[in-house]
Amino acid sequence: MPAEANGGVLEADVVVVGAGLAGLVAARQLEGAGMSVAVLEARDRVGGRLLNEPIGDGKVVEVGGQWVGPTQKRMLALAKTVGVETFPTFSDGENVIEWGGELRRYRGTIPALGRAALLDVAQAQRKIDRLARRIPPEAPWQARGAARLDAVTFWSWMRRNLYTRGGRELIRLAVEAVWAAEPEDLSLLHVLFYTRSGGGFDMLLDTEGGAQQDRFVGGSQVVAERVAAELSGPVVLGAPVRRLSQSGESVRVEADGGASVSARRAIVALAPALCGRIAYDPPLPGLREQLTQRMPNGAVVKCMALYDEPFWRAAGLSGQATSERGPVKLTFDNSPPDGRPGVLLGFLEGRQARRLGAVGADERR
Ligand SMILES: Cc1cc2nc3c(=O)[nH]c(=O)nc-3n(C[C@H](O)[C@H](O)[C@H](O)COP(=O)(O)OP(=O)(O)OC[C@H]3O[C@@H](n4cnc5c(N)ncnc54)[C@H](O)[C@@H]3O)c2cc1C
C-alpha cells in the first residue's frame, strides 16, 4: 500500500532517511515485501554520493562514485534490473608513473620500480590478503584478535611489514586511492575488513578484473534515479531530517520545511558521521552514539580535464598515471563510451583533498 498523507503528516510502514543508493534500495526491497515506504532526502535530488555532471551533447562525467567491479554482484544485478548497462573502463596501452622526478611507463597494476620494491609490495600484499581471510565481513569485530588489530593504524603495520621506501610509497598510494585517507588514519582491522569485503587487495586496485573494471552508461546516478522512479511511495526532496522520536509502536521523523512522517519503523541510510547530526528521542544507545563519533568520512576531490579527443590513446597510453609527488596522485581515462570528448580524471585524495578543497576553484585549477 502506498504511503499516505494525513493532515500534513505522511503515514507509512517504514520511513527511510536518505535517498542515496542504500536508502533507495532499502525502500525498494520493503515495497517488494508489500510494505508502504516514504523516503525523506535532504538534497533536491536523489543519488547522494552518486552525481552526474553534464558535459554537453547529453554526455556526463560522474563526480561521485562511478566504477563497478566483478565482486559488486548486487550492484551489477540492480543496474541490470533497472536497465542500466555497463561498459569497460578504457585501460589499453601503457601506464605512467612519476617517481623520483622521472616519468616511467609500465603495464599492469604495479609500476616497475625495481626488484626490491616490487618483491616488498608482493610480500606485503600476500600478508594483507592472508590476514584479511580471517575477518568475517558481516561482523569484523568478531575476528580472532579483532581488538588488537583495531588498536594499530595501518601505517604502524606498514612500518613493520614493508622494508623498502618504494614499497611503502606504493602501498601508501594504493591506500589513498582506495580509502581517500592516509594509512595513519585507518585501523589495520578496517583495512583487512574492507580488503576481505572487496575480494582481495589486488581486486581493490585493479582495473581489468578489479574494482575499476566497468562504468555505467549514462552515469552511475541513473541507477539511483531509476530505482527512485520505480518506487510507489513518496520520495520527498529538500527535506533534511532533524528529529527522530520513537514512542510505543511508532516513530515520528521530522524534517526542515515541515515534512513529517509517522511510521512503524525508520531506516537511517546516511554516512555514520551524518547519522549523529539527527536529534533522537530517546537518545541512541551509548555504543551506537560512540560509533557515529568515530567513523569520519574520507576526503576526495575528482578533477576532470576535457579535451577534444583522448590524445594519449594515440601515443599508446592508457591515461592511467600515478605520482608520488601529487597533488594529483592518480589519473584515469574517463572519456564517455564513444571516446568523445577525451576526459582525464585526476584524484585529490586525503591530505591533498583537504588542502586544495579549502581553496577557491580558480586557485585549485
Ligand atoms: C568521489 C567519490 C568516488 C567514489 N567512487 C566509487 C566508485 O568508483 N565505486 C564505488 O563502488 N563506490 C565509490 N564511492 C563510494 C560510493 O559512492 C558510496 O559508497 C555510495 O554512493 C554511498 O551510498 P549511500 O546511500 O550509503 O550514502 P549516500 O550516497 O551518502 O546517501 C545518503 C543520502 O542521505 C542524504 N542525507 C544526509 N543527511 C540527511 C538528513 N539529515 N536527512 C535526509 N537526508 C539526508 C544525503 O543527501 C544523501 O543523498 C565513491 C564515493 C565518492 C565520494
Give me the average pLDDT of each 10-residue run along the chain (365 residues): 62 98 98 98 98 97 97 97 98 94 87 88 97 97 97 98 95 95 97 97 95 97 98 97 96 96 98 96 95 93 97 97 93 97 96 92 87
Distance 165 CA to ligand 1 centre (A): 35
Beta bridge partners of 62: 52
Q: Look up residue 104 and give its amino acid.
A: R
- Residue nearest atom 27 in ligand 1 by C-alpha distance: 20
Kindly list the domain boundaries of the chain, sorted by start residue.
4-47+222-293, 67-91+210-218+298-364, 112-205
* Separation of alpha carbons 194 and 178, rounded Å: 10
pLDDT at 361: 86
pLDDT at 314: 97
Cite the beta strand spans of the chain per DSSP E. Answer: 4-6, 9-17, 37-40, 52-56, 59-62, 67-68, 86-88, 94-99, 102-106, 214-216, 235-236, 241-247, 250-255, 260-268, 279-281, 300-307, 317-323, 330-333, 342-349
Ligand 1 within 6 A of CB of 23 = yes
How far is the CA of 3 from the CAs of 17, 26, 237, 254, in angstroms?
Answer: 15, 15, 15, 16
Tell me the per-residue pLDDT of 187-218, one tens digit each, with 9 for 90 and over: 999 999 999 999 999 999 999 999 999 999 99
pLDDT at 6: 56
pLDDT at 1: 41
Tell me whether the CATH fold assigned to 67-91+210-218+298-364 matches the one assigned to 112-205. Answer: no
Q: Look up residue 196 and give its amino acid.
A: R
CA count, 13 A, side-chain hemisphere, 107: 3
Reference 298, options 183, 151, 221, 192; nearest CA is 183
In the three-class reduction of DSSP (H, G, I as helix; E, B as strand; rest coil), residue 281 is classed as: strand
Cite the beta strand spans of 126-259 per DSSP E. Answer: 214-216, 235-236, 241-247, 250-255
* Separation of alpha carbons 179 and 245, rounded Å: 34
C-alpha cell at 289: 552514539
pLDDT at 2: 45
Ligand 1 within 6 A of CB of 198 = no
Ligand 1 within 6 A of CB of 66 = yes
* Domain 67-91+210-218+298-364: CATH architecture, name and number where available: Alpha-Beta Complex (3.90)
Ligand 1 within 6 A of CB of 210 = no
- Residue nearest atom 48 in ligand 1 by C-alpha distance: 48
Beta bridge partners of 252: 245, 262
Ligand 1 within 6 A of CB of 253 = no
Ligand 1 within 6 A of CB of 26 = no
The CATH number that domain 4-47+222-293 falls under is 3.50.50.60
pLDDT at 249: 92
Query: What letter does residue 140 receive in the DSSP assignment?
Result: G
Beta bridge partners of 214: 68, 88
Ligand 1 within 6 A of CB of 21 = yes
Q: Look up residue 277 and give its amino acid.
A: R
pLDDT at 114: 85
Distance 38 CA to ligand 1 centre (A): 19
Reference 38, options 6, 64, 65; nearest CA is 6
* Separation of alpha carbons 38 and 255, rounded Å: 13
pLDDT at 139: 97
Task: Specify the fold of 112-205.
Answer: Guanine Nucleotide Dissociation Inhibitor; domain 1 (1.10.405)
pLDDT at 3: 56
